[in-house]
């Protein structure tokens, strides 16, 4: 004979199990690296104007490194951490300035989308469009299209 209470409990457990499977947090990645890095990065002190608190909390700029390529082209590497258990996208754009602080009109300044896995750290990289560019701005926004 069927026991309705037992069946109800069984159903509850079934739903809970389904819920647990459906809502399980996505897997994050493990990172491994040399104890003491062999490189010597040239870091830049940065100034931040953060008007989107959610974005600033989820995507954290850890450090900014710079170098030069092809003799005089500045290259920047902005290390960003997705400090969240959920993946997400940001769009970003580098704007370049000359030694007078004037914006350089360049075809390289385009919005680019970048996907970050949960707890993933990725570099956002840009190379100055020409040797006259000496500084930059980085703009970041949530990519709500994804």
Partner 1 sequence: MFMRIKSGMPVASASAVLALSLLTTGCGGGPAAHTTETGGAGTITTVGQIDDQDFAAAARKLSQSMITSVDFGPNADGSKKVIGVSRTKNDTAQMVDTDILLDQIKAPLIESGKATVTTIGGLTTEDPLASRNVQAKDFATGDGSAKLRPADYSLMTHLSQTHATADGVRQNTFYFSMTLTETTNGTVVWTKQVPITKVGSHNAFGG
Q: Which of residues 34-93 bind partner 1 (CB under 8 A)?
A: 69-70, 73, 75, 91
Find the helix or strand (DSSP H, E) in which 59 lies: strand 59-69
**Residue among 40 and 70 whose Cβ is closer to partner 1:** 70
CA atoms within 13 A on the CB side of 61: 23
| Beta strands at 112-116 and 43-44: parallel, antiparallel or unpaired | unpaired
Residue 26 makes contact with partner 1 by CB under 8 A: no
Is residue 118 a contact partner of residue 82, using CB atoms and an 8 Å limit?
Answer: yes
> Would you say 114 and 91 are in contact if contact means Cβ atoms under 8 Å apart?
yes
Q: Which stretch binds partner 1 (CB under 8 A): 12-20, 44-52, 55-63, 125-133?
A: 125-133
Nearest distance, CB of residue 116 and partner 1, angstroms: 14
- Toward partner 1, which CB reaches closer, 65 or 75? 75
Please answer whether residues 135 and 101 qualify as being in contact, where contact means their C-beta atoms are separated by less than 8 angstroms: yes
- Which residues contact partner 1 (rule: CB under 8 A)? 69-70, 73, 75, 91, 106-108, 110-113, 125-127, 129-131, 141-146
């Amino acid at each position: 004979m069927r026991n309705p209470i037992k069946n109800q409990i069984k159903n509850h457990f079934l739903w809970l199990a389904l819920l647990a499977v459906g809502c399980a947090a996505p897997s994050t990645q493990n990172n491994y690296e040399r104890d003491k890095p062999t490189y010597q990065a040239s870091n830049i002190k940065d100034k931040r104007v953060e008007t989107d608190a959610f974005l600033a909390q989820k995507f954290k700029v850890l450090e900014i490194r710079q170098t030069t390529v092809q003799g005089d082209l500045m290259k920047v590497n902005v290390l960003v951490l997705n400090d969240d258990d959920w993946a997400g996208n940001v769009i970003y754009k580098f704007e370049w300035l000359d030694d007078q602080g004037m914006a350089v009109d360049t075809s390289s300044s385009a919005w680019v989308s970048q996907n970050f896995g949960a707890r993933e750290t990725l570099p956002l990289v840009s190379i100055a469009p020409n040797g006259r560019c000496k500084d930059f701005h980085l703009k970041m926004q949530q990519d709500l299209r994804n």
